[in-house]
Amino acid sequence: MTVEEFQEKFGIVGTSAPIKEVVTTVMQVAATDVTVLISGESGVGKEVVARAIHGASGRADRELVTVNCGAIPEGILESELFGHQRGAFTGAVDTRKGYFEIADGGTVFLDEIGDTPLQTQVKLLRVIETGEFMRVGSSTTQKVNVRVIAASNKSLEAEVARGYFRQDLFFRLKSVNICVPPLRERREDIPALIDKFTQEFFDRNKIKFGGFTRDAVEILQSLDWSGNVRELKNFIESIIVLERGNEVNVATLEKYLPKSDVLYSTETEKRFLPVRVGKTPEESERELILRALWEIKNDVVDLKNSIGEITTEKKLSLPAPKYFLPRNASSVNTDDEAGDDDGKEFNLEEMEKYLIRKSIQKFHGNKKLAANALGISMRSLYRKLQEYKLKDIL
């Protein structure tokens, strides 16, 4: 089975090098019974990887039991994992199997294992190493044949150093460590993920959808998505519902994306003003004025940087356009022989339009490269394209 066939079978989306590396490792370890530790930020798809490992293993026809260790209260976690005897504690009116017994012959996926209490970690180590455990309130040892896959959005190595996680359990879990990359490190996979989530949502809800424009997809690719794949999926589904299935363009996205991303021209120039509830009308008006001033300031910085790139010929080796000339002037001296130009008028709008047009032409329509060359964000570039009616360039 090829990597692409494996991805299609188990729903792992992406053509980027990081995700291909993950899939290759999964294919190598799936057929074994080795313990696997899956690490990565929240929302990257660790459970998808765990399901792929189980589905490609010899245990695929048996149970895959998923346990969110961070969602179960500490007082009942051991009972949930290993079961309990009748009368073991108040409320234990019947003998009950735990997740390890239920998964006998199959796989247990311990999600967010870094949140497991130290006392429970001792028993987990024993069942992973020997397959033996005891129900809560029992003195009889039971044995199971279970493969363990664990996952954590924390650095378990750091947790060990802090004394919150057992070192012996950490070494036992990391027989194979698969690190799932965050979405910002595989942005080229975002269009395929958008298509997948859109199609799945349509299949479930039968909502007609006009799709995302190319510019809108490029904007989504430029965002960091701190919540990773989960956040992207929720955003796609929400915007389809709220827009009633209409086509989503850049203007539509602006209504739903964080306002802080709209107000500022470049990521490096963001300034977050303090927010306080219960402001008076005068204070609210003052805050709006301050925000507007910051936006104007950043636009001026963007323009200044862009002009500097033109004049130094570092990024865009372009001749000075006619818009750079003082009004009523017929020529320009590029060696500054004409002396100081202080006091002369320049048409800033025409200069900015020229820079944007030439940048996009230079990079053959690649707006991301053009934005980088101009020193502005993708969203600022799209705003300028709409403002100057330059959307049809290339």
Q: What's 234's domain CATH number?
A: 1.10.8.60
Listed residues 132, 148, 181: the one ending a domain: 181
Do residues 319 and 335 share a domain?
A: yes
Q: What tokens were used for 144?
A: 């199971």
- Which one of 257, 273, 298 terminates a domain? 257
Q: What is the pLDDT of residue 108?
A: 96
pLDDT of residue 139: 80
Q: Report the CATH number at residue 61.
A: 3.40.50.300
At residue 285, the pLDDT reads: 53
Residues 7 and 138 in one domain: yes
Q: Are residues 128 and 207 in the same domain?
A: no
Joined together, the tokens standing for residue 37 give 């530790």
Question: Domain check: are 144 and 38 in the same one?
Answer: yes
pLDDT of amino acid 340: 47
Q: Check residue 283 and give its pLDDT.
A: 53
Please measure the distance between the N-terminal and C-terminal CA atoms of the chain and give it in whole angstroms: 41
In total, how many domains does the chain have?
3
pTM here is 0.67
What string of pLDDT tens digits covers the 394 residues of the chain? 899 999 999 999 999 999 999 999 999 999 999 999 999 999 999 999 999 999 999 999 999 999 999 888 887 888 899 988 877 666 676 888 889 999 999 999 999 999 999 999 999 999 999 999 888 887 888 999 999 999 999 999 999 999 999 999 999 998 899 999 999 999 999 999 999 999 999 889 888 888 899 999 999 998 989 999 999 999 999 999 998 888 999 888 888 887 544 433 334 333 333 333 444 555 555 555 555 555 565 666 666 665 655 555 444 444 444 444 444 444 444 444 444 444 445 567 777 777 888 787 777 777 777 777 777 777 777 777 777 777 666 5
**Do 138 and 250 belong to one domain?**
no
Domain presence at residue 348: yes
Instruction: Give the residue numbers spanning the domain of 104.
Output: 3-181
Asked whether residue 270 is assigned to any structural domain, the reply reads no
Residues 98 and 52 in one domain: yes
pLDDT of res. 134: 87
Q: Last residue of a domain, which of 157, 181, 205?
A: 181
- Give a yes or no: residue 81 inside a domain: yes
For residues 49 and 93, the answer to whether their CB atoms sit within 8 Å is no
Using alpha carbons, list the distances in angstroms from residue 165 to 11, 151, 271, 288, 347.
32, 14, 38, 48, 64
Q: How many CB atoms lie within 10 A of CB 139?
A: 7
| One domain, residues 68 and 140 | yes
131 and 41: one domain?
yes
pLDDT at 372: 78
Which two structure tokens, joined as six digits, stand for 169?
């359990």
Tell whether 133 and 58 lie within a shared domain.
yes
Q: Do residues 237 and 350 both lie within one domain? A: no
Candidates 263, 215, 205, 255; CA nearest to 235 is 255
Q: How high is the pLDDT of residue 126?
A: 94
Q: Do both 154 and 292 map to the same domain?
A: no
pLDDT, residue 168, reads 94
Residue 276 belongs to some domain of the structure: no
Amino acid 27 reads M
**Do 156 and 170 lie in a common domain?**
yes
The owner of tokens 């709209």 is 262
User: Is the residue at 288 inside a domain?
Assistant: yes
> Is residue 140 assigned to a domain?
yes
Q: Is residue 271 part of a domain?
A: no
In this prediction, residue 282 carries a pLDDT of 52
Cβ neighbours for 134, distance < 8 A, ≥ 6 positions apart: 82, 140, 141, 142
The reply to whether 52 falls in a domain is yes
